[in-house]
Amino acid sequence: MERVPEPQTTPRLRSLDGLRGLAALVVVVHHAVLTIPALATPYFAPYEATTEGSPAWWLSYTPLHLVWAGGEAVVVFFVLSGLVLGLKARSPRFDWAGYFPERLARLYLPVAGAVAFGVAVAAAFPRTADGSLGPWIAHRPPAPTVTGVLHDLTLVFGPSRLISPLWSLQWEVIFSVLLPLYMVAAVALRRSPLLLAALCIAASGVGYYAGDAWLIYLPMFGVGIALSELVTTTPSTSGRARWGWTAAALFGLLLISSRWSLAPILAPSAGTTALTGVLVVLGSGILVAAAVHARPLVRMLELRPVLWLGGISFSLYLIHEPIIIAAAELLGPDRGPYVLPIALAVSIPAAAVFFRLVERPSHRFAKRVGVWFRTESARQGEPMRRSDERVESPRQRA
C-alpha cells in the first residue's frame, strides 16, 4: 500500500486545524443559543411549535442553522479524526506499540482536567433544577455525582452529561482503540476508497434508521479513513479544479444543513432521519476533502486567527459548556440572548489558558509515553525532535 506522509510533514494540512477551530466555535455558539427557549424548541418539541417565518424559524430551518449546527460540527470532527489518524497510520514511522498509550493519554489527560474544571464551576455556580432556564439546561444534571464523575473520566461507559460534549469523546476513544480494524478495511479496499466511504455512509444511515448509536457514529470515522487514501499533497492549482472544489465545499455545507432545511417538507419518520443523516455524513466528507484541496478555502482556514482558534479547539470544546451554564444561571430566565457574547468572551480566553496549563503539558507527556512503548526499530528510525518544535495543536491528530 502506498505510504502517505504524516500530517505533521504536510504543511497544507494546517487547513484541517483551521476547520477544527471553526467547528469548535460552532459548537460553542450551538450551546449558547440553546439557552434561548425559542431556539431550543426545535430540539425538544415538534416542528409545529416554531412559527413559520419567525426569526427562530429562519435560524432553525434554513442554511442559517449552519452557524449553530453543533451536532453536525461533531460529525465533521469524526470525519477529520478518521482522516488524520488514517494518514498517520500509513506513515513508515508509525508504530502500533507506541500509538495506543500515546493516543489514550492525549485524550484522557485533557478530559480529566476538563472534568475537574466542570465540577469546580458547577460547585461555584449551583445549577437550577426547576426548568426556568429552558429545556436545554433542564436536561443537564443539576449537580456532580461520584458516579457521574467516574463515567466522565472513563468515557467508554457513557458520560454523565454534566459536560455534555464528552459524549463525542466516548466514540473518539472507541475509534482509537479499533483503528487497526479500520486500517484492515482500508487495505482490503485500497483500490476502491470511494467504495469504502460509500459503505461507511450507508452503514451510518442504517444506524440512523435503527437508532443504533454504534452504527451511527463509528462508520463516520471510516469516511475519514477512506479520505486518507484520496487526499493529495497540495491544494488544486488549476482554475477549473479550484472552482470545482470551492463549489464542492458549498455543496457540502448545504448537505450538512439538510437535516434542518428539509424538516419543513419531510414528514418525521425513521426513513427521514436516515436520509438526512446520510446527507449530513456525505456533506461532512465533502467539506473535509474540500478543506484539503480547495485553494480559496485552504487560504481562509489558514488565516492566523483561524489557525490560532484551531490550536485551542480541543480545549475550547472541553470547557465551554460549564461556562455557558454558569452565565445562564447568573443572568437568570429570559436573558438567553446575552449568554452568547459572554460565553465567547470568557470561553475563548479560558480555553487558551486551559491549553497552556493542561492540554499542552498533556500532549508532551503523551509523547513521552509513546516513546517509552515504541519498538526498538521505531525508536531508531525516529528523527530527533527540535527543542523549539511547536506542540501539535488540539485535534491535529483528531
Name residue 248's amino acid.
A
- What is the DSSP annotation of 62-112? SGGGGGG-HHHHHHHHHHHHHHHHHHHHTSTT--HHHHHHHHHHHHHHHHH
Q: What is the C-alpha to C-alpha distance for residues 152 and 159, in angstroms, rounded to an integer?
A: 5
- The tens digit of pLDDT for each residue in 303-324 reads 999 999 999 999 999 999 999 9
- The tens digit of pLDDT for each residue in 67-103 reads 999 999 999 999 999 999 999 998 888 999 999 999 9
On whether the CB atoms of residues 294 and 239 are closer than 8 A, the answer is no
Question: What's the longest Cα–Cα distance across the chain?
Answer: 65
Mean pLDDT calculated for residue range 296-309: 94
On whether the CB atoms of residues 126 and 326 are closer than 8 A, the answer is no
- The tens digit of pLDDT for each residue in 125-146 reads 988 777 778 888 888 888 899 9
- The tens digit of pLDDT for each residue in 164-207 reads 999 999 999 999 999 999 999 999 998 999 999 999 999 999 99
On whether the CB atoms of residues 90 and 47 are closer than 8 A, the answer is no
pLDDT given at position 5: 40
Q: Where are the alpha helices (DSSP H) in 155-192?
A: 166-188
Domain boundaries, the chain: 27-379
Reading the block at residue 264, the C-alpha cell is: 419543513
